[in-house]
Structure 1
Amino acid sequence: MPQNRSRRRARTLTGATAVALAAAALVALPQSGAEAAPAGRTETPLVTHSPDDDVAVSQVTLAAPLPKGFGAHPAACDTLSYLRYRSVRGPAAPTAADRVLVAQPGALAGAASLDGIARHTVENAAAQGRSVEFWALDRRANCLDDTTGLTAAVAANDPQVALDYYYRGAVVNGRRFAGFVPQKQLGWLSKMGVQQSVLDWHTLLLHELPDPAFRASKVWCGGHSLGGLVTGFFAASDFDGNPATTADAGYNQCAGFFALDSQVATSIDGTLPAPAAVPALVRAGRRAVDGAYASGVLPRSLDIPVVNAETLNSLAITAVFAQLRPQEVSPVATFFKGNRNVTTAMRFLISKDAGAFLTGLPSAYDFRFTNEAALGALMDDNSQPIAALQASVGFATGGRLAAKSFPTGNDLLRIPQLTGLTQPVLGTARKVIPDDPGPLWARGTGPVYRWLNYDQVTSAHGKPWTTPASEVTDIGDLARDMAEYPLDFTEHYFPTAMFTDTLLWAAGDRGVVPTAVHLDEIGSRPTFTILGADGLVVPFLKGRTPKDTLVLPGYQHLDVLTAAKVQNDGRREPGAAALTKYVLAH
């Protein structure tokens, strides 16, 4: 079994690497010498820890003011950004590439969530002597994310920099963290729904690739999760206000489409579960929804006890420690012990049963984890209870383990009649949790739990919870993706308008995305779909998979994006390989 030692070496920073990354962090500052192109456009090369040194990554930012009427918003939000991936041996101009893939991230996700599949696709094409670029889009609301402390910590090879920046008032690169943005300052986000996302995508494509013939023959448009639905709305959109003229239509801006654990459509087949209050809002109509946003009854960004800007940022801080100090005992849990917001999330995510959740005994802070194991506990499909946040990154070791029965028991996941509900919400993997915090009189003195990477799990290690065949993502890759990019992995201020728009649309309100008038043309271009067998979409299809679909056994929702380049069976990652083959063949 491969042990992936080269990747583990790549995650240990040398002094030279730290200096290079510090220089890269300075390059990323607005006043830096970033490469200037057309007016209002900057392209900044990025230095990363990825061992894939044949892929060049840069951050591209365009000036794109929001329309009047959006309300007060930061100046940084009058821009659009994306991560541009290309082969170091390929042409410098995207218009000289054989293909350009442009992808929307899923809900709660930023551009860096697409890093793995982007890199693999570029490399696969280069190995065939072809040039493919992959552009990972960052939705506009990510302008609110302050990644200064994260990227500076990685550049300095010191995870403490991140904690000091976000919680101790430290000044980094001349900037002091202004705090997490309160809902009362996010009124403009209630307008940042599907329609504006579609318009932003169109603006970016026309700015970066102005030749309509190139777009129609060489550009492939797609997305992960909710991004697949945004792709569907884009394909159906009319952009000149005259549906009778179709050269401007979305489906004519791309040579083809792709979906990553999603569908290129305006709704997923079947009925998605929703909070009990949402159907009533949908029935009441758009006016009621708009009023709820205006009054603050509906939060403008997703802001619930477990998933909000601070908890998502704390997840990224955990990833910084896992990237830079993977084998050291994690100080993160202890640091956050007095933080009610993060502690609530920890209790939900890392409680063995309802009793532990209600009492906080034992708490997540009573266990000792390495930094890598702490990230694994928060993201692995055998621990993380929310399906949309799960990846198959290995397994815990080093101490006693027990079945996790909160928020639900493992037996519920095994009832076939409930799969359509449980799989999209809870996932398919049986949940397990460390079970030795030390004796009652000395909590926090138990064994140090460590992490087995995806390629170190054996049947004996994982029994009865997992097998090597269902472990597909390198935890080091995941930590890097979550930690070091200025356009980050998570979307801290995800606009809830993205959700309410899709619900209103499903209820029959076509006014929420008025440009989407060419619905019959969504399937008029070649479309390739990649699904995780254990992901969110398969249960809704009930065997009716679209044409040209690849279903990947053992893959969770995030694995479709993050799976390691070489799998445990020795093959190159099959999803990206199939996507590369498909777009080059059409």
Structure 2
Amino acid sequence: MQRSRLVRRAVVVALVAGSAAVVPAAAGPAHADTGRVETPVSTSSPISSVVESVVRVKVPLPASAGPHPQACDWLSYLRFRHANGPARSAGADKILIAQPGILEGAGAFDSLARDTIVQAAGSGRYLEFWALDRRSNCLEDSTGLRAGLAARDPHVAIDYYYRHKEIDGRTFAGYLGNGQVGWLARVGLEQTVRDQYDLMVAELPDQGLRKQKVLCGGHSLGGVLTGFFAEWDFDGNPATVADAGYNQCSGYFALDSTIATSLSDLNGLRSTQMVPDPGIGYVAMQAGLDTGLLPRTISLPALINAETMNVLGLAGLAATVNPGGRSDLVTYLPSNVNLDTTQRLLFSKDHLTFLTGTPSTKDFNLTNQVALGALLDDNSQPLAFLQTSAGFFDGGRIVDKDFPVPYDVTRVAELRQLQGQFGTSRKAIPDSPHGPLYTWRNYNRVGAPDDPAYAGRDGAPFTTEAREVTDIQELARSLSEHPLDFTEHYFPTKLVTDIYQASSPQISRHVVHTGGIEANPTINLLGGEGLVVGNGTPAHGTTVIAPGYHHLDVLTAAPDQNGGRPELVSVNLAAFALSR
């Protein structure tokens, strides 16, 4: 296979897969020289009853990974617990451990973790929620974001990343290229599930306690990783089962995902694992990654790459500290080919606008909230796996957005099969350059008496109260506030290619406990507009479908839903956890 074809295959494969004071969890003080550090996280969350810390545990990579930064020898997670609950994790009623999805970090679980813990506490029970980070997140430089948040000034962060401004003696070294991340060629499925196992053993040494109290799960790709974890053999002896993945968990939870060892439920494509792979494809792919002929991280020239993932954090920061102010991404972020192309992809009304670049985002008066909404809201963002339902544009003329796909793909028969990639929401865009200040109508103000009820060319409304579920300010906070962030800048290509080659001997020799997925109860918590429902109800477990929720909404939905509706994901996840 030619290099160009291999590169395209690796990238496409990944993209269709569908991101207060704390007492340490372990006994005794937490110091770096003990191999475990726990640090309280200051938060502006309105849910003050949940406390958060970042935990780092030293679990060195094997020598086979090759040279890598020392920081990458540590595993990290965000620990959420109730302020009135036990200080030690082992004392919690249940511990939920979550794997993030593709291009996703631990911070993405912020809202769901807090809401689920509060739901359980209402019945006098105490849950912990551990949101995992993957190894690759160790490569991110959050110095600018942290400084910008502390100063309450997005310009501080943007100056660090784009104007060579020094912070605490450090300057930004730039985004890493393929030649600088060679060790990620060896960080795939085996290392990822092993990291979760090693972390669980380090934090909860008693296997019986893990089996009794831990629930394993994840969002999007994280559900598939949990499926592999359940069937993985960790001691190299299939005859012993105390080490088997399914015996580390009392149940599984899938967040707009399925607990499976195939990506077909997420992307709608037939699993390639039906055909046994003798290992030749695996060897060729590994050689491509090792030599650098294949991209070692999922990265495109625009829209999906380390820089654009970081810009999502900058957008969250700006909307957090100055939601109604003129957009810092429009007025202060410098231009470059990647950013200019990305904004044209996301903010062009039609093909002509994209080709000419006129009008551009700099021709509009947009608030920081609007900039964030344009990046992630389902009525603007074209890619389904990046969509939330956080409200709608306001303050000026709004028209249909027909780029990169028609404003309503459900009306085009030839495009209906692509709903899994683009979603079902009608796309809209501001249409008055050099005009009024466009503002954002939050999810809970859609349908209010002062709502203009913007409609498309066919007279139908772009959105309704029932289709909006995420608070844009909480989304902004989740994107910018955590030491382990919402996004994953350097997602390892090998992680997804390993899944597609799971029938090869190099992978299948580890996936030997084939009844592991069915060995424990499962709850599938799906967005009604998410990635999974269009491909059928999962075969295993109890399924709850949250109407109006898109792919990210299962993590970000507000606890107080429109019309007095309960927040279905956290309510059902807490009930499931406590019933085990």
TM value normalised by structure 2: 0.89
CA distance in 2, matches of 1:535, 1:109: 16
Q: CA deviation at 1:336?
A: 3.4
- Are 1:569 and 2:558 matched, yes or no? no
Structure 1 window deviating more from structure 2 (324-333 vs 83-92): it is 324-333
Alignment of 1:125-204 (within 5 A): 125-204=120-199
Contact 1:115 1:562 in 2 (8 A): yes
- The amino acid of 1:185's aligned partner reads Q
Structure 1 residue 287: Cα displacement: 1.9
Pair 1:240-2:232 in alignment: no
Q: Counterpart in 2 of 1:49?
A: 44
User: Which residue of 2 is the match for residue 303 of structure 1?
Assistant: 299
Q: Could you tell me whether the CA contact under 8 Å between 2:232 and 2:512 is conserved in 1? A: yes
* Native 8 Å contact 1:336 1:342 kept in 2: no
> Are residues 514 and 333 of structure 1, via their aligned partners in 2, closer, same or farther at CA, if it must alter by over 3 Å?
farther
* Paired position in structure 1 for 2:439: 450
TM norm structure 1: 0.89
Q: Which moved more, 1:407-416 or 1:91-100?
A: 407-416
* 8 Å CA contact retained: 1:423, 1:535: no
Once the 2 structures are TM-superposed, how far is the Cα of residue 377 of structure 1 from its aligned partner?
0.7
Q: Provide the residue aligned with 2:284 in structure 1.
A: 288
Query: In 2, are the aligned partners of 1:99 and 1:583 still within 8 Å (CA)?
Result: yes
Once residues 484 and 544 of structure 1 are traced to their aligned partners in structure 2, the CA distance between those partners, rounded to angstroms, is 34
**What whole-Å deviation, never above 9, does each CA across 1:197-219 have from its counterpart, x for those lacking one?**
00000000000001111101111
Kindly tell me: are residues 347 and 273 of structure 1, through their superposed partners in 2, closer, same or farther at Cα, counting changes over 3 Å?
A: farther
* Distance in 1 separating the partners of 2:424 and 2:294: 31
Question: In 2 relative to 1, CA 566–545 (structure 1 residues): closer, same or farther, beyond 3 Å?
Answer: farther
One-letter amino acid of the counterpart of residue 387, structure 1: A
Residue segments in structure 2 that go unaligned for 5+ positions in a row:
1-19, 23-28, 456-460
1:399 to 1:429, Cα distance in 2 relative to 1, 3 A: same
One of 381, 390, 393 as aligned partner of 1:384: 381
| Partners of 1:570 and 1:478 in 2: CA distance | 20
2:207 alignment counterpart = 212
Among candidates 303, 325, 329, match of residue 326 of structure 2: 329
Instruction: Note closer, same or farther for the CA distance 1:423–1:284 as it changes in structure 2 (3 Å cut).
Output: farther
Match of 1:368 in 2: 365
Q: Distance in 2 between matches of 1:424 and 1:490?
A: 21
For 2:30 and 2:515, the matched residues in 1 are separated by 42
SS across alignment from 1:519: coil
**2:350 aligned with 1:356, yes or no?**
no
**CA separation in 1, counterparts of 2:132 and 2:191?**
14
The alignment partner of 2:515 has SS state of helix
1:430 to 426, 433, 447: 426
Rounded to whole Å, the distance in 2 between the matches of 1:518 and 1:462 is 53
SS in 2 for 1:173: coil
Structure 1 residue matching 2:570: 3-state secondary structure: helix
Code of the aligned partner of 2:555 = L
1:461 match: 453
Following superposition, the deviation at residue 545 of structure 1 comes to 5.4
**Deviation digits for residues 300-352 of structure 1 (CA, Å, limit 9, x no counterpart):** 11110211001111121111111100000113123335211111111111111
Letter in 1 for 2:453: H
Out of 291-300 and 306-315, give the one that drifted further.
291-300
Contact map agreement 1:268 1:540 (CA 8 A) in 2: no
CA distance in 2, matches of 1:482, 1:266: 29
1:462 deviates by 4.5
Which amino acid in structure 1 is aligned with residue 425 of structure 2?
A
Q: Secondary structure at the match of 1:83?
A: strand
Structure 1 residues 476, 457: closer, same or farther in 2, change over 3 A? Answer: same
**Amino acid across the alignment from 1:500:** T
- Who is 1:17 aligned against? none
Q: Is the 8 A contact 2:268 2:535 kept in 1?
A: no
Query: Cα gap change, 1:307/1:428 in structure 2, threshold over 3 Å: closer, same or farther?
Result: same
Query: What secondary structure, in the 3-state scheme, does the structure 2 residue paired with 1:221 have?
Result: strand
List runs of 5+ in structure 1 lacking aligned partners.
1-19, 25-33, 438-444
How do residues 490-505 of structure 1 correspond to structure 2 at under 5 angstroms? Answer: 490-505=487-502
Specify the code of the residue in structure 2 equivalent to 1:91. P
Q: Secondary structure at the match of 1:551?
A: strand
**SS at 1:301 equivalent:** coil
Give the corresponding residue for 1:6.
none
The aligned amino acid for 1:434 is P
Once the two structures are TM-superposed, the CA of residue 361 in structure 1 deviates from its matched residue by 1.4
Deviation at 1:47, TM superposition (A): 0.5
Distance (whole Å) between structure 1 residues aligned to residue 469 and residue 212 of structure 2: 33
Runs of 4+ displaced beyond 6 Å:
none
1:491-526 CA deviation, whole Å, 9 max, x = no partner?
001111122112222xx3252364211122211101
1:345 aligns with: 342
CA distance in 1, matches of 2:47, 2:561: 16
Q: 1:415 to 1:355 in 2, by over 3 A?
A: closer
Instruction: Report the secondary structure of 1:109's partner residue.
Output: coil
Residue identity opposite 1:581 in structure 2:
A
| Paired letter, 1:425 | Q
Structure 1 residue aligned with 2:314? 317
Task: Answer yes or no: is the 8 Å Cα contact 1:98–1:132 preserved in 2.
Answer: yes
Aligned partner of 1:554: which letter? G
Residue 422 of structure 1 deviates from its aligned partner by 1.9
Does the Cα contact within 8 Å between 2:81 and 2:128 map onto a contact in 1?
A: yes
Equivalences for 1:465-484 in 2 at 5 Å? 465-484=462-481
Describe the superposition over 1:393-426 as per-residue Cα deviations: whole angstroms up to 9, x where unpaired.
000011111111111113433457854x322210
Distance 2:106 2:90 in 1: 22
AA aligned to 1:432 is A
Q: Distance in 1 between matches of 2:415 and 2:266?
A: 14
